Amino acid sequence: MGPAELVQAAAMARRFYLEGKSKIQIAEEFGVSRFKVARVLETALERDLVRIEIRVPAELDAERSDALRARYGLRHAVVVESPAEEQDDAADPENLGEVAAELLGELVDEGDVLGLAWGRSTIHMAAALDRLPPCTVVQLTGVYDAGTAERGSVEAVRRAAQVSGGEAHPIYAPMLLPDPATAAALRHQTGIARAFEYFDKVTVAAVSIGSWEPGISTVHDMLSDEERAHYASLGVAAEMSAHLFDTNGRRVGRDLGERCITVEADRLRRIPEVVAIAGGQRKAAAIGAVLRSGLVTSLVTDTAAADYLLTESPAGQRPALERADPDN
């Protein structure tokens, strides 16, 4: 390109990329056809006169996010950088909750019903919320320990409702009860029954995922050694909202749900948008198992888990779009 061509190409590129003018407008200004404008703009890219840079905040990994979304058929996948030094006993990185709070601000519309399940990551998310459209907030599970309700999921529901200016429907009950009869009796108590009535109205839910090992699953930690061994023998690889899954995403140990205060798996499957918040190497396999269940539609995770998920599952499986029944 000679000097005149270079100057003209630079001018056209400025009009198109910086000033937002159409190719037809540029063609009229320079007295050429819009096809020539298109060729000049293409040449400007080839000759490095124009450089297009796609930038997202440093903590977000756009390439992994898009690859993860495509591989599992997710509606949304957001991958954040893992901490420089991940501790062996670390739960989900706390920055996942902050990013998930921003994602909820995008997904929730005015008049929606937002469901929050117990989990450290959902508690961190609720604490980080600073904007939500007016919506109703309902608790989807009981708490890990009723004595810590003020610092746990009850407080998370209250916080989200406060930010949105909507109603709060918490559940003041433990997640796990000694037997099915006690759990059934609690479900009929007025406050808990009122929360359960909202389960079929939930439009967006936020859930956590645990792997079947100490400190990484609250349900695992609540059970006796004998019970843990029993469910391990069934092949449990992951837990979400007191529902257990094997590595293929099939639900196992369904009898546990009869003792729990939690949203049923089938109701969870019917919620239009279910966002899972989980990360770290220790949870990577569990996240994959839950994704294969079809219950989750979106995921907030970190690079450590994403790298595992992008290699351990064959391409072409899109369980989040199919929303299959994990009981079949």
pTM over 0.75: yes
What percentage of the chain exceeds 70 in pLDDT? 88
In single-letter form, the type of residue at position 324 comes to A
Average pLDDT of span 73-89 = 76
pLDDT at 4 over 90: no
7: Cβ contacts below 8 Å, ≥ 6 apart: none
For 178-188, write each residue's pLDDT tens digit.
Answer: 999 999 999 99
Determine the Cα angle at 326 with ends 321 and 328, to 5°. 115
DSSP designation for 14: I
Least confident segment among 29-38, 213-222, 249-258: 213-222
Q: Which of 275, 271, 230 is nearest to 254 (CA)?
A: 230
Q: Which of 29, 32, 10 is nearest to 21 (CA)?
A: 29
Averaged pLDDT score across all residues of the chain: 87
The C-alpha atoms of residue 285 and residue 307 are separated, in whole angstroms, by 11
Least confident segment among 196-200, 215-219, 313-317: 313-317
Distances (CA, A) of 49 to 11, 272, 274: 11, 45, 44
Least confident segment among 191-195, 199-203, 206-210, 217-221: 217-221
In single-letter form, the type of residue at position 143 comes to V
The C-alpha atoms of residue 111 and residue 240 are separated, in whole angstroms, by 26
> Can you read off the two tokens belonging to residue 142?
């009981």
202: Cβ contacts below 8 Å, ≥ 6 apart: 113, 114, 115, 138, 140, 263, 267, 271
Give the SS3 label for residue 129.
coil
Give the SS3 label for residue 29.
helix
For 289-315, write each residue's pLDDT tens digit.
Answer: 999 999 999 999 999 999 999 987 665
